[in-house]
Structure 1
Amino acid sequence: MRRRDVGGQRDGGRVGRAATLLGTVVLLILFGSAGSAFAHAALKGADPVDGTVLKKAPAAITLTFTESVGLLDDSFRVLDPENRRVHIGEPQHAGGRSETARVTLPDDMGTGTFTVGWRVVSADSHPVSGALTFSIGKPSATTAVIPTQAAGDTASATLYDIARYFAYGGLALLLGTMVFSLVTGVEAARGLLLTGWWTLLASTIALLLLRGPYERGGGPAAAFDPSVLAETATSRPGVTLLVRLVLLAGAAFFPVRAGGRWWKAGGGLLTLALAGTWAAAEHASAGVQVPVAMVSAVLHLLAMAAWLGGLAALLTALYRAPEELPASAVTRFSRLALTAVTVLVATGVYQSWRGLGSLDALATTSYGRLLVAKLVAVLLLLAAATYSRRWTARLAAPVERRADVRERVLEPVGAAADAEVSGTDTSAGTGTDTSAGTGTGTGSDSGAETGTGTETGSDTATETGPQSGPLPPTAGGDPGAYRRGLRRSVLAEAIVAIVVLVITTLLTGTQPGRAATEAAASAAEAARPMASTTVIPFDVGTPGGHGKIQIELTPGRVGENSVQAVIFGPDGGLATVPELRLTFTLEKQDIGPLDAKLADRGGYWTSDTLNLPLPGTWTMKATVRTTDIDQITVSRTVRIE
């Protein structure tokens, strides 16, 4: 008995040290990553384009995103060159399209560089913010500074993300412990059920309070602002959190030990609804194949909770009351864990495809790199689970052999029994099995029984007569040793499981690879030169009648474009001509010729009225007249995006 206590203390010390180290690492991961504002919707385009120079104030600012976004009361902040706020209209969706954000501007904005800070909420409930500038007339020497609130308060974001981590952990403990208790019938880990319920309840309340400051980028003090709370309660994320609180209240009064068809149906619906509050406000609620994605997300979350939470319950039972944990219970949980892993793999593959969009995103996006890290962690978890299954099989084997011994011991005694066992028992090895119950054979790991009169295991004992005492000792090894081995493997499994849970939570707060790739493509498109310059040589066939036309098209894209053109004479200097006409034709679409309507500005030819309606390769024709009778038409193609 003393040896068992010392071993338990030694194992307990190891658990304490491992838990302390793991807690430190997890906290470092949490605090190191929680401050990063991961956005799930990305800015796809802006009108006016960031950095553009306009001749007059635009009527509105329109932003286009990669997915649907929600608008806030102060989604836009426009500052003039002197850092004064410009009075603007109410934020709205352009043309009713949910992936856009639009705000009207006043006509009398003045000139200079204006700074726009914007903040919206993506369809999967994460705030997205940014800034852009545009100039009217010409850029000013100074520009405004975006207020801190527009960029987001890091304290609110950090606290909100930490609450999300605890919510996932609480769900895993609550559902996992419940499933473990139902499957195994073991009560030793029942305390984790209350821990999970209280953790999930407290984290949900924290998320509800912090939701408003998190969305608006304000400080944590705004969490108790009645107007902010009222607005949060009517938003989709707020509604899902309120539903979660109602479900938790129902779970508090749900009988744990009841049975029957209605009890199972009610518990199943309660569990599905609880998991659905995550799916309705996370990645699954936006993007492609939303109905399928939400079903997949619910199954993924339930499988995660059953496996990881069940591991915590199993580990607790192994340390608190190992003797009360029968091998059959461990075997049943092992089968459940295998089913959960199968569901996790199937749903994980689908969610990875949906979130990534392409294999390149594995290496080029944060989402892809986190996904690779999760895959490695899951493989390590499966390796640890393999060892746990081996220890479970070894623990179960002696139980089967003890059951076989019980059957032999309880054979009837008397003359009939003596007659039955008077011969040699060849199935058990070599030796005689008497009706008096004197067992013969030596136990081994392989289960074969050989010997001549004693049963050897971790201890020695002789059983005689009917089964009136405890079961005979293990015939293939020490159950205590097997339990200690199982404790170590399950502890390793639980440690890796916590890492998997942390990475999973990080993934839910990271922009999916599909959206990140689309945003990167949009950024590259926006970074392209905002003007195309074409030089066309000409020669009218008269002395001094040749030169070059330089035509600059800004921005060189679909829509409104401005044109500037100059003519260089034979000596390379600027030349003046009586007339320069410019037309554009999109032959494949049978559009044009569209006249640019150039106006002479003292040798500089300009136009602000050219509208190119479609992308494609346009033919640009320039007609140059050098005298009253000498002219020529030359052409070049120009690509319009």
Structure 2
Amino acid sequence: MLLGTVLVLLLFGGAGAASAHAALRATDPGDGTVLKSAPRDITLTFTESVGLLDDSFRVLDPDGKRLKVTDAGHGPGGSDTARVSLPAELAQGTYTVAWRVVSADSHPVSGAFTFSVGKPSPAIVVADTGPTEDPATESLFNMGRYLAYLAAALLIGTAVFLAACRPPEPARLGRLLWAGWGTLLGSTLFLLVLRAPYENGAGPSAAFSLKAFERTLGTRPGEALLVRLALLLVAYFFVVRLLRLGESRLPRAWQAAGGALAVGLALTWAAAEHASAGIQVPVAMTSAVLHVLAMAVWLGGLAALLSTLYRAPSQLPAAVVARFSRLAFASVTVLVATGVYQSWRGLGSWDTVTGTTYGHLLVLKLFAVTLLLAAARLSRRWTGRLVTVAAAAESRVEARAEAETEAETEAETESEAEAETAVREKVAERVGGPSSVPAASASVAPASAAPVSTSVAAET
């Protein structure tokens, strides 16, 4: 309820509208305008910085034929503009301009508009303005993105669970840890290869173009993926060290190294997506990194905990579950706080929620967060019960051990007393026969003196 109230206040009382991706703000010439003379250039202005492609502009003449234009570049206005120069002479009629750029958050955006020279064409020509999105490429690329998120959660969350919660027999989680590392490595390579056709709206076969791949390596998303690969190679040695540690505490130097690797991996997402564009970029980048880390620690840690419970030959120590409960509560708190900030930053009105794909995705995400909070509450309650039951069981075991120790002590005392009594009875029998048995309770020293007196009397 509190989260919903905060979101409503932010939606209706927040700052001006912000867009999830770059949006076209203005065109020169304007859409639908009729010019007396042919323009020399076409300039587009966007709401944020954009990246240009080899085929960012397609200009079609009134007959639907593609004009030869110069390579696209940024205009004098800066990186939020795109400009292309036209041929010196243009025939009268309506021209179609199809454009495609890459938003600062690494997502491609495209569109089209028209302008006329002299007078509009009498008939509208249906022209091929080029590709928008290839369904196969888009599906494969999104699959790789989501797989990378899940793999990062598995890698970071399992590592944090091992280092912070210290479960018994940590080697049992080695398979889970290596699965996260290997899947993240493979999905990153997959995204790097598929990046060019995804940006250009081409089919998956375009991934084999060496020229397109080289261009990808020079873009910010491509550089972020390369950095992620480098960090994963370093993380390999950290994983090996963590699994060799056993149940001992991870040294502080290795803790710092692991934390730096986790932050670096999270930055490879923040630097190439929504947080890197728009307002309050430094704050947004920090929020995005914390958001990714909180998601990874909670989701990956939960997977590690469930795997430990399933594989453990005996009951899991209550201290391990209690440590994860505190860690999960902090992670969910950070996840909600950063999610609220990012929602405020990405939306400015209720129309943005209901009228855009980003708004629809946000609603689904908020629904998922609600389920996450419910699961966290149930998990915390279950953890509390588990800790209580485990503590009670430990108390019963300790009480039983104390009782057994006392019983053993009493038994040993009785055995010693019986042995001492038996010795005294034997001594008494040697001195005075069976009639002297009641005197066995006397001290041994006087009884041992009796034979001496008897022998002296006999000699007399």
Q: Given the two structures, how large is their TM-score scaled by the length of structure 2? A: 0.78
User: Residues 398, 212 of structure 1: CA spacing in aligned structure 2 closer, same or farther, 3 A cutoff?
Assistant: same
Gap runs ≥5 in structure 1: 1-37, 415-434, 439-463, 466-641
Cα separation, 2, equivalents of 1:363 and 1:85 = 37
Cα distance, 1:341–1:413 mapped onto 2, change above 3 Å:
closer
**Is residue 2:163 matched to residue 1:192?**
no
State how far apart, in whole Å, the 2-side matches of 1:364 and 1:437 are: 78
- Could you tell me which residue of structure 2 aligns to residue 302 of structure 1? 293
Give, in angstroms, the shift of residue 411 of structure 1.
Answer: 4.5
- Which structure has the highest strand share of the two? 1
Which of 373, 381, 400 pairs up with 1:382?
373
Specify the SS of the correspondent of 1:402. Answer: helix
Are the aligned partners of 2:35 and 2:118 in contact in 1 as well (CA < 8 Å)? yes
- Relative to structure 1, the CA distance from residue 412 to residue 396 in structure 2 (aligned partners, 3 Å threshold; closer, same or farther) is closer
Q: Does 1:252 align with 2:236?
A: yes
Q: What is the CA-CA distance between 1:54 and the residue it aligns to?
A: 1.7
How many Å separate the matches in 1 of 2:402 and 2:107?
A: 70
Structure 2 unaligned spans of 5+: 1-18, 413-460
Aligned to 1:127: 108
CA separation of 1:50 and 1:315: change in aligned 2, threshold 3 A: same
Report 1 or 2 for greater relative contact order, CA contacts < 8 Å, sequence distance ≥ 6: 2
Q: Structure 2 matches for 1:489-638, cutoff 5 A?
A: none
Match of 1:206 among 190, 197, 202: 190
Structure 2 CA distance for aligned equivalents of residues 322 and 389 of structure 1: 23
Q: Does 2:44 align with 1:78?
A: no
Q: 1:137 to 1:308 in 2, by over 3 A?
A: same
Where do 4+ consecutive residues of structure 1 move more than 6 Å?
A: none
Q: 1:337 to 1:137 in 2, by over 3 A?
A: same
Correspondence list, 1:166-245, <5 A: 166-186=147-167, 187=170, 188-245=172-229
Query: Are positions 1:143 and 2:113 aligned together?
Result: no
8 A contact 1:210–1:223 mirrored in 2: yes
Aligned amino acid, residue 335 of structure 2: L
| Per-residue Cα deviation, 1:437-460 (whole angstroms, up to 9, x for no partner) | 89xxxxxxxxxxxxxxxxxxxxxx
State the partner residue of 2:271: 280
Q: Which amino acid aligns with 1:341?
A: V
Task: Find the aligned partners of 1:261 and 1:361 in 2 and give their Cα distance.
Answer: 46
**1:144 Cα offset (Å):** 4.6
What CA distance in whole angstroms lies between the structure 2 residues aligned with 1:371 and 1:413? 61
Residue identity matched to 1:288: I
Q: 1:253 to 1:132 in 2, by over 3 A?
A: same
Instruction: Give the match's secondary structure for 2:141.
Output: helix
CA shift, 1:367, in A, is 2.6
Rounded to whole Å, the distance in 2 between the matches of 1:351 and 1:61 is 34
Q: 2:94 aligns with which of 109, 113, 119?
A: 113
Q: Is the 8 A contact 1:181 1:190 kept in 2?
A: no
For residues 84 and 320 of structure 1, the distance between their equivalents in structure 2, rounded to whole angstroms, comes to 66
Q: Distance in 2 between matches of 1:227 and 1:373?
A: 38
> Deviations 1:342-370 (Å, cap 9, x if unpaired)?
11122112111111134553344333333
Aligned to 1:605: none
C-alpha contact 1:113 1:143 (8 A) present in aligned 2: no
Q: 1:322 to 1:136 in 2, by over 3 A?
A: farther
Structure 2 counterpart of 1:508: none
State the match for 1:391 in structure 2.
382
Q: Is the Cα–Cα contact under 8 Å of residues 20 and 358 in structure 2 kept in the other structure? A: no
What letter corresponds to residue 42 of structure 2 in structure 1? Answer: I
Partner of 2:325: 334
RMSD over aligned Cα atoms: 2.3
Equivalent residue for 1:292, pick from 277, 283, 303: 283
Q: Tell me the matched-pair count.
A: 382
* Deviation for aligned residue 1:412: 8.8
Give SS of 2:173's match.
coil
CA–CA separation in structure 2 for the residues paired with 1:382 and 1:437: 52
SS in structure 2 at match of 1:380: helix
Distance between the aligned counterparts of 1:346 and 1:385, measured in 2?
15
What SS does the aligned partner of 2:272 have? coil
SS of the counterpart of 2:76? helix
Q: Spell out the pairing of 1:410-425 with structure 2 (5 A cutoff).
A: 410-411=401-402
Q: For 2:312 and 2:404, locate their aligned partners in 1 and report how far apart those are by CA, in whole Å.
A: 38
Structure 2 match to 1:19: none
Q: CA deviation digits over 1:141-167, x for unaligned, max 9?
A: 232513443x23222222111110111
Do the aligned partners of 1:82 and 1:144 also contact (CA within 8 Å) in 2? no
* Aligned-partner residue type, residue 128 of structure 1: V
Distance 2:395 2:315 in 1: 21
| Match among 254, 262, 266 for residue 263 of structure 1 | 254
Assess if the C-alpha contact under 8 Å between 1:69 and 1:122 holds in 2: yes
Rate the CA distance shift 1:39–1:395 in 2: closer, same or farther, 3 A.
Answer: closer
> Relative to total residues, which structure has the larger helix share, 1 or 2?
2
- What secondary structure, in the 3-state scheme, does the structure 2 residue paired with 1:77 have? strand
Taking a change above 3 Å as real, the CA distance of residues 412 and 317 of structure 1, as seen in their structure-2 partners, is closer
1:581-612 alpha-carbon deviations (Å, 9 max, x no partner): xxxxxxxxxxxxxxxxxxxxxxxxxxxxxxxx
Aligned to 1:479: none
1:68 Cα offset (Å): 0.7
Displacement of 1:385: 2.2
Q: 1:370 aligns with which of 357, 361, 376?
A: 361
Residues 58 and 130, structure 2, Cα contact 8 Å, conserved in 1? no
Structure 1 position 413, deviation (Å): 9.1
TM-score (norm 1): 0.57
Instruction: Give, in whole Å, the separation in 2 of the partners of 1:380 and 1:53.
Output: 54
Matching residue of 1:351: 342
SS in 2 for 1:57: coil
Output the CA distance in 2 between the equivalents of 1:104 and 1:148. 19
